Chain A
Amino acid sequence: MAGIEVTALHKRYPDGTVAVDHVDLSIGDGELFVMLGPSGCGKTTTLRAIAGLARQTTGDIRIGDTLVNDLPPAERDIAMVFQFYALYPHLRTRDNLAFPLRAEGLPKAEVRERVEEAARLMRLGPLLDRRPRRLSGGEQQRVALARALVRRPRAFLMDEPLTNLDAELRADMRTEIKHLQGELGTTMVYVTHDQVEAMSLGHRIAILNKGRVEQIGTPLEVYDRPATLFCAAFIGSPPMNLIEVEVADGKLRGKGGLVLTPPPGLPRDRDLVAGVRPEALEVTEPGAERSVPARVASVEWLGDEIIYVVDHGGERDVRVRMPPTGRFAADAPVGLRHTGGTPAVYDVKTEELVA
C-alpha cells in the first residue's frame, strides 16, 4: 500500500490537444480518492498517467516513495479496473483472475489460493468456469474487480467502472466497492463523471475542469463551499443558484430583492455572485415575513421532494428544493425566502470563492 503524489502533471498529445494542463494531487495511503469532472476534463488522462498507460509530457508521479515516471505499467504495482471491464474474452473467469498472477510467475499453489480468495470476496464461485461472454454486465464487473484484487497491488485505479451498469446495479456495486476498499484499506483512485458516485464513495474528491484541479476536499466541503463557480455549478442536482449581489448596509442584496447575510471579510469594489443551495431557499405564501414576491415558473414533482423554479425578478430563475408537503401550483404568486446561513460568495471575474 502506498500514497500517490502527482506533481505539476502536464499532458499534451502530438496533435496539440492539452488533456491535462496542470494537476497536483496528494493522495494519502489507504485513501479512496475520487476524481470528478465532465468529459474531457483530464481526469482519465491523469489516471492513465498514474497507471503508466499514457506518458505525461512533464511532471512527476510518485507511488509510495518510488518515482514511477519511467516505469512501465506492470512495474508500478497497481491494478486497474476499466469501464469496459476488459476481461480477456477467450479465458474463463478462473483464468482471467489467474492471468496477472501467472504473468508475474507465481507458483501454482499460490495462484490457486489467491484466485479462490478473490472469488470468495467477490462471490464469484458459480461463475468461475464461464467465459466473459456468458456473464452479465454486473458479473463481468465483479470479475474485473476480483482480477484487480488478486494482485494485492499498492493501489487500485478505477476508470468509470460503473458507467456501463444499469442504475440499480450501480448503486449495489457502489456499496460493494466502498465496503471492499474499507476492508482492504488499499489506496484507490476512482474516476467518474457521476457526482452521486463521487459524493457517496470518496473520502476526498478532486473536481477537475479543462485539465486543472478546481477543488480538492471532502464531499461535505465540496458541497458546502465549492471553491469556484465551476464547482458551484457542477455539484448538486439541481446545482447552486448563482445570484448576482451587491453589498449594501452590511447585507448582500440580490437584484430580485433577496437579502442574504454576508460572510465576514468580503472584499470591496468587486462584482460578486452568491451561491445559494436550492434547499437554503423556501417558497412561502405571498407576503410572508422576510419574503420577496415571486412567481412559480414551473414545478418538478420528484416524489420525495419538489423542485420549484421560481421567478423573483432577478437575473435568472432560481431553483428551490422543498419537501413534498406544501404545494404551490405553477404560475401561482408566492413568496421567496432565504433560510440558510451565510452563502458562499464568488468574484465574478476570477470565478473563485472570496468568502
Chain B
Amino acid sequence: MGVSVNEAVSTDPVRDHPPPARRRGGRGRSALEVALLTVLAIVMLFPVLWMIETSIKENRDVYAIPAKFFNFQFTMDHFKDVFVGAGGGRSALSVSFLNSVVVAGVSTVLATVLGVPAAWAYSRFAVKAKKDQLFFILSTRFMPPVVVVIPIFLMYRQVGLIDTELGLILIYAAFNLPFTIWMMKGFVDEVPAEYEDAAMLDGYTRLQAFRRFTLPLLVPGIAATAVFALIFSWNEFVFAIFLTSSDDVRTAPPAIAGLIGGTTVDWGLVAASSVVFALPVLVFAYLVRKHLVAGVTLGAVRR
C-alpha cells in the first residue's frame, strides 16, 4: 500500500478511517446480533408499547380477552379525560400536571442557581477542610427519601409547609443540590482557571470573569446536570405522597397512583396520563441530547 508524500506530510488533521467492521463471525453473526437485540428491545419496550396502546384503546378493548394487539377501536377519549374534568372544565389530573411542571421546574432552577456557583467556589478556591465539606454535602444524599420523610414531615408541619408547593420545591432543591454541586464541580475542574486569571488581568472582577468566560463554557455541563435534577424532581413520588394531600397541590406521580384503587380502575385513563407524564422528560432529554452526552463524558474523563 503506498502513501503519497502529500498524504504522509499532510498537516491536516488525520481523517479518522472507520475501524474495519468486525468480520470474524461473518454475516451469520451480525444477523444473530440483530435478532438478539430485537428480542431484547421488544422485551424492554413492551411495557411502554402496551402503555401507549392502552391509552388509545376503547375501554372494552382494554379489557378484551384475549388481548387485542392490532384490531382495537382507536380513541383519544382517555387523553381528553386527562385534561378535561367530568363536568367540563379542568380535571384534577391536569392541575397535578401543572403542579409537577412548577415544582420540578422551580426546584431544578433553584438547585442549579445555587449549585453552579458553589461548585465553582469549591473548584477554584482553597477552602478549609474542602474534602470534608464536599463529603458532608454528598452524605446528605446517602439516605433514601423514605428514611428521612417522617422527620421532614414533622418539621414541615411545624413551619406550615405541609401540603404546599413551596415545601416540595424546597425539599427537591435540597435533594438535588448535593448532586448538582458534585457533578458541576467536575465540569468546572475541566475549565482551566487561567481563563478567569486572564480576564482578571484584563480588568474584570472575579465574578465578571466567571460569568463572561467560565459560565459559557459550562453550559453543556449545566444542561446535563439540570436534566438529571429535573428527572429526579419530575419522577419523585415518596416526598410528594407524604407531604401533599390536596388535589390543588399534588404533583402528577401521586395523582396518577391515586387513579389505581377503588372498585374499578380506568386503565385507559391511567395509561393516557402515564404517557402524558413520560413525554416532557423524553422530549426535553431529546432536545438537549448533544449537551447530555458531551456533558456526561466530559465530566467523566479526568485530565
Contact = CB atoms under 8 A, between A and B. Distances in A.
Interface of A: 13-17, 48, 51-53, 72-74, 78-80, 82-86, 88-90, 99-100, 103-104
A287 B199 CA distance: 67
Contact of B201 (A14, A15, A73): A73
Contacts of A84: 192, 194
Nearest to A74: B203
B127 A53 contact: no
Given A86-B198, A88-B198, 12 more contacts: A15-B126, A16-B128, A48-B197, A51-B201, A74-B203, A74-B204, A86-B192, A88-B195, A90-B216, A99-B202, A100-B203, A104-B203
Query: Which secondary structure dominates where chain A touches chain B?
Result: loop
A80 B128 contact: no
30 contacts: A14-B128, A16-B128, A17-B126, A51-B197, A53-B200, A72-B200, A73-B197, A74-B202, A74-B204, A78-B201, A79-B201, A80-B201, A82-B197, A82-B198, A83-B194, A84-B192, A84-B194, A86-B194, A86-B195, A86-B197, A88-B195, A88-B198, A89-B217, A90-B216, A100-B202, A100-B203, A103-B202, A103-B203, A103-B204, A104-B203
Given A13-B126, A15-B128, A89-B217, A74 B195 contact: no
Query: Which secondary structure dominates where chain B touches chain A?
Result: helix
Interface of B: 126-130, 192, 194-195, 197-205, 213, 216-217
A145 B79 CA distance: 64
Given A82-B197, A88-B213, A14 B192 contact: no
Contacts, number: 61
A74 B201 contact: yes
Nearest to A53: B197
Q: Nearest 4 pairs between A and B by C-beta?
A: A86-B194, A74-B203, A13-B126, A86-B198
Contacts of B203: 74, 100, 103-104
A96 to B, nearest CB: 10
Contacts of A86: 192, 194-195, 197-198
A99 B202 CA distance: 8
Contacts of B192: 82, 84, 86
Contacts of A85: 194
Contact of B129 (A15, A51, A89): A15
Contacts of B200: 52-53, 72-74
The residue among A78, A89, A104 with the most chain B CB atoms within 10 A of its own CB is A89
The residue among B130, B203, B205 with the most chain A CB atoms within 10 A of its own CB is B203
A166 to B, nearest CB: 15
A83 B128 CA distance: 27
Contacts of B128: 14-16
Nearest to A102: B202
Contacts of B127: 14-15
